[in-house]
């Protein structure tokens, strides 16, 4: 269950941060607002989106594809020969073209361009 956390801004006015618990039980902010009502609406909306599976960690979208692959591939459970093939395809074909892009910035047109280039 979320709540609105009251704090005082630099100008001395009350501000309210919408706080909710993510799927791991960590506190997350859904934004800071000038009214408690708006903050309550924000954390309630965040909880609804989370229940519907629409919320993820925004930081994940800011990482590059290369950084994602560096974390994903070692922990992905697959056969050794499949891992070898994945590592080869990623290093030879995918990461040189798309590796520097942020995950949130990769769109279908990028994939279509990459396929055409291949």
pLDDT digits (tens, 9 = 90+) for 17-33: 999 988 778 888 999 99
Paired with 4 in beta bridges are 18
Sign of torsion over alpha carbons 73, 78, 83, 87: negative
Domain identity same for 77 and 110 = yes
pLDDT given at position 52 = 75
Domain identity same for 9 and 51 = yes
pLDDT at residue 65 tops 80: yes
Q: Is 80 exposed, middle or buried (0-12, 13-18, 19+ CB in 10 A)?
A: exposed
pLDDT at residue 57 tops 80: no
Number of domains into which the chain is organized: 2
Domain identity same for 28 and 68 = no
pLDDT at residue 59 tops 80: no
pLDDT at residue 89 tops 70: yes
Greater confidence (117 vs 95) lies with 95
Sign of torsion over alpha carbons 108, 116, 113, 61: positive
Domain span holding position 12: 3-56
Domain identity same for 28 and 77 = no
What is the pTM (predicted TM-score) of this model? Answer: 0.53
Residue 36's pLDDT band (cuts 50, 70, 90)? very high
Domain identity same for 66 and 33 = no
């Amino acid at each position: 269950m979320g709540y609105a956390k009251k704090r005082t801004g630099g100008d001395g006015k009350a501000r309210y941060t919408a706080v909710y618990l993510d799927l791991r039980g960590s506190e997350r902010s859904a934004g800071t607002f000038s009214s408690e009502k708006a903050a309550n609406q924000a954390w309630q909306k965040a909880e609804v989106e989370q229940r519907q599976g629409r919320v993820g960690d925004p930081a994940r979208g800011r990482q590059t594809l290369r950084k994602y692959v560096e974390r994903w591939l070692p922990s992905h459970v697959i056969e050794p020969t499949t891992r070898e093939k994945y590592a080869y395809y990623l290093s030879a074909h995918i990461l040189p073209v798309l590796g520097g892009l942020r995950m949130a910035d990769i769109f279908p047109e990028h994939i279509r361009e990459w396929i055409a280039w291949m």
